[in-house]
Structure 1
């Protein structure tokens, strides 16, 4: 049995303004008698495991999607993280990554699976308070009671996916996220000089314009690569194998700027 993976991830709500990200990890294990994939939620600055998901992060959904597009609910992150130990030197708490194991049984459908995650709507408002001090809060501007002047008001939604293939590639279908990056070629057989291609959808339709960025997890501080979105399509040629993170953000400028984010992290074997 051959299990290959593509991790698709998303960057977080307001905390992404402080360089934190939210994504989905996927780790594969194969044996002569079968195999499984272990999935978890990642949070922090660098793939694959950096920090626990904060309890303030709330999810609308966290599902396994099978090749027929059937959704199976996965266990959500903990509502409250228990501290196990603390002294002057160390603090130890339970990790909060919603890690769980997906085992492929004899009658498992062949094809491309995904784990799809969507956050609840977040807000970020930057303002001058009544004392003239610049401040920010993770609230919508109508909930700010001490504002003299609103400088910036954002509504933020974030989505994340992880794709992995059981036995043979099949083209994944949209899951209904407002913004989606969907791989359109078989990454389990791609050579590093071949193109990595995506459909880029906004509200279920091809995104007319914009760009997708890509960064290698081997060198997260390197400059990002850019690819334009043309009629809902984007493509990259990756210079080396390994984990690559692809991101796309769409902003609708209005009284409250609506920011929708999704990203894709590919582990090219």
Structure 2
């Protein structure tokens, strides 16, 4: 299966990025794809940095996986994701959520990752309100933030699109994520995922007010129509997001790090890995 070239011209004012600024979130190639050949493909095609999900290394452990990454000279921008607090309404599930968060922080330290993406979690079924869920997320992040500070890993609160507030992440706007990050103190920032925030009328002001808090910036595109709440993200240039415009504001707010391609798409991950990464690189330089 091949994807056609995009005919959409970049909208925003930022100039093209060198490929050295690109990081590849490995969910883009599919979480069931074995880690070692994926890393080899990244090296072969000139990728300098990756972001991992726990599924990428769960079977082998973070120590073995991190050595694979280091042996290939790749940087790790982040680990995905911390998400257990929202649904944890009893003592047992709360302890599990805190323990999982501490383990994830240790994993990120092992990988020398810059940040951990924190979506916090969704709402428990038939129990409480979204306000209760957000309180649990804030409480959980505050509890584990000292551990993250000790090992030098930033907890990056990522607002998700409101359509998944109940299911996956009750933090829905960048403005709210920034307010929580400030309440949690040093070592807690925000992740700006273009796919999740592009729709927000307050986005430009929210990015500006997040100056100094932005720990990462992710790109993909919003397809019209979109057919799946999680796995129908588009390749950059195939949708409606003004990626250049958002990046120009993220950079004006002080973020100068890697721009991470994170495309959750069953269609795209079905491509042959070399073809997929080559297409990502092409669209990155053209549209991101």
Q: Under a length normalisation based on structure 2, what TM-score does the superposition of the two structures give?
A: 0.29
Higher helix fraction (1 or 2): 2
Higher strand fraction (1 or 2): 1
